[in-house]
Structure 1
């Protein structure tokens, strides 16, 4: 369930606007690239050149909501893609995605877009302890997706555009099971878009305004299950409690600071199975942790893309790096109620995929 939440919130948000009139496009991509060697433990797999195809529906937002005009009327994409990883140990990937393409620059016949995307990934040949134990990249049949893309659109006529792009696709199970190295695919794609529907000519009135509250305080409770070592393979529960203060900067950005408590039974089990002796007495260290963090929220109306950087101020076990990061999506369902899905990492190593609910004071 936790592995689907990144995609679910984003998909619900995107489809909430489909009642309006938009320009709709059908986009196809031919995919070719390589697997990134992001650490030494995947060097035996990062030696192939994946290929694939992608088909997506795209809608151009029309400025009805204030943030749409603020971002120069971006594209929202719903895609399905196939990757042949050209390695029998890795198999094939089928990816369902939702993404927003933000225009960085537009002219009459060209445009440059930056994509933020997420979704779900189905793997045909994940890790298996008995039959496929060398695949330490893709551990679960269903994993989640993070994707960025830089697209240069060249308009050929009113209907057809070329869309070459550079793309980075990351698939991981968020430490649901070990090993959890993840797969990172860098590709150069060649694509083409065809306009299948044009919006009706109409003036946009009664623009929906953004929330510009100068200061906000959140109390967020999140949790899930994860595993940290091959010795403790069964996922165990964890929960976090965050008190977070946020300041409005501009219609696109908020900055904040927070204090966070971590309670992980997987870390507790890791400490228990690696206990040590002091003066001949077996002693188990405290598994609880606390951290201070700073964060940024990139806002798209009620939806926000969050990035946070934290420092442990209490971590007796010392089994982690002192610094951690978090990337995720936050949606404000109500004036006071919000939901969040996120990935907490130590550098390039994911620790846990989180789902949470919070209250805004």
Structure 2
């Protein structure tokens, strides 16, 4: 858990922070919303209206790198948020996040942004078997964050802007502990930005051209620990092996296909301890799985946001639905070396949080 958290934070701060080259803003938000009932097992908790505040430091990218111009000079945000979930079983959340706000449309005095964000969440009252066993949403003190947001910016003058937005915040422990339902909060926020630093008035030349290699092949090894049931409470190791071919489409996108092998000791333990098999004379099913997948990478220079969908072609245990998804961040350290952090899910249920290293041929 600690290693994965550090890896996520490293990837998030991989963007430049030289204050002299960027416009910097201080943004504040007032938060109000509701908890989404995304699963029938969380209905007893999805009955409150969370409120909170957010404070973030934002930098407007200046086009120094080629990809910044392609995305029309987006905003990068580093934020700290507080949520009062208005339910004693759920407690309070403190969120540390980093995000990219991509401009959809800009005019002289307005702009519409779409956010992709991630980070870490601290919970004051997570699940406890003895004292808080009804909280099946937030089951670890530290969980992972996925966030999307639509922000409409209204410029009042050269320094001050209004920033109302609609926001979806998802927090999950990545199956580090069971139960693993996760929490989804939908909010309407009212905010304001104040420019605290202007960039130096000078021309910037492109110093980082984009990689436009038409075809790439990756071999990726990833792993971690997870738990699948309340009967098997101790997280056990897993690893995946992925062979993935990727095709360059345009400066923003790559598409790919792959074949993937899954080796999960928690699934093996779940199958072995399944009490339905006590009176079952059939042989215990194989825990190993094989999947075929398609994927997309949204590229921001060396950093990429990956989305993948796969189907199991070998899954004798039939322990999950036949289709799985993966969402994560990928960073290219070298021409041949890549690192990745990701969350693998089956619909709204996370199976595992992964950290991986790969070689590009």
Same fold (TM over 0.5): yes
State the match for 2:284 in structure 1.
284
List alignment gaps of at least 5 residues for structure 1: none
> Do the aligned partners of 1:9 and 1:331 also contact (CA within 8 Å) in 2?
no
- When residues 47 and 277 of structure 1 are mapped into structure 2, their CA distance, relative to the original with a 3 A threshold, is closer
- When residues 157 and 277 of structure 1 are mapped into structure 2, their CA distance, relative to the original with a 3 A threshold, is closer
1:285-304 mapped onto 2 (5 Å cutoff): 285-304=285-304
Which shifted more, 57-66 or 203-212?
A: 203-212
1:8-27 mapped onto 2 (5 Å cutoff): 8-14=9-15, 16-18=16-18, 21-27=21-27
Q: TM-score, normalised by structure 2?
A: 0.97
List alignment gaps of at least 5 residues for structure 2: none
RMSD of aligned residue pairs (Cα, Å): 1.5
- When residues 185 and 47 of structure 1 are mapped into structure 2, their CA distance, relative to the original with a 3 A threshold, is same
Deviation per CA, 1:51-80, whole angstroms, max 9, x where unpaired? 000000000000011000000000000000
2:224 is equivalent to residue 224 of structure 1 = yes
Distance 1:272 1:345 in 2: 22
Question: In structure 1, the residue corresponding to 2:205 is in which secondary structure?
Answer: coil
State the match for 2:106 in structure 1.
106
- When residues 119 and 111 of structure 1 are mapped into structure 2, their CA distance, relative to the original with a 3 A threshold, is same
2:1 is equivalent to residue 4 of structure 1 = no
Question: In structure 2, the residue corresponding to 1:121 is in which secondary structure?
Answer: strand
1:206-221 mapped onto 2 (5 Å cutoff): 206-221=206-221
2:194 is equivalent to residue 180 of structure 1 = no
Deviation per CA, 1:182-234, whole angstroms, max 9, x where unpaired? 11000000000000000011111244210000000000000000000011011
Distance 2:279 2:352 in 1: 35
2:245 is equivalent to residue 245 of structure 1 = yes
1:23-62 mapped onto 2 (5 Å cutoff): 23-62=23-62
Distance 1:190 1:279 in 2: 58
Q: How far off is 1:113 after superposition?
A: 0.3
Q: How far off is 1:123 after superposition?
A: 0.4
2:119 is equivalent to residue 147 of structure 1 = no
Q: How far off is 1:277 after superposition?
A: 5.9
Aligned residue pair count: 360
Distance 2:7 2:138 in 1: 18
Distance 1:7 1:36 in 2: 26
Distance 1:142 1:331 in 2: 23
State the match for 2:234 in structure 1.
234
> Do the aligned partners of 2:20 and 2:200 also contact (CA within 8 Å) in 1?
no
State the match for 2:168 in structure 1.
168
Deviation per CA, 1:261-310, whole angstroms, max 9, x where unpaired? 00000000000001666997462211000000000000000000000000
Q: How far off is 1:12 after superposition?
A: 2.8
Q: How far off is 1:8 after superposition?
A: 1.4
Q: TM-score, normalised by structure 1?
A: 0.97
> Do the aligned partners of 2:60 and 2:74 also contact (CA within 8 Å) in 1?
yes
Deviation per CA, 1:248-271, whole angstroms, max 9, x where unpaired? 000000000000000000000000
> Do the aligned partners of 1:2 and 1:224 also contact (CA within 8 Å) in 2?
no
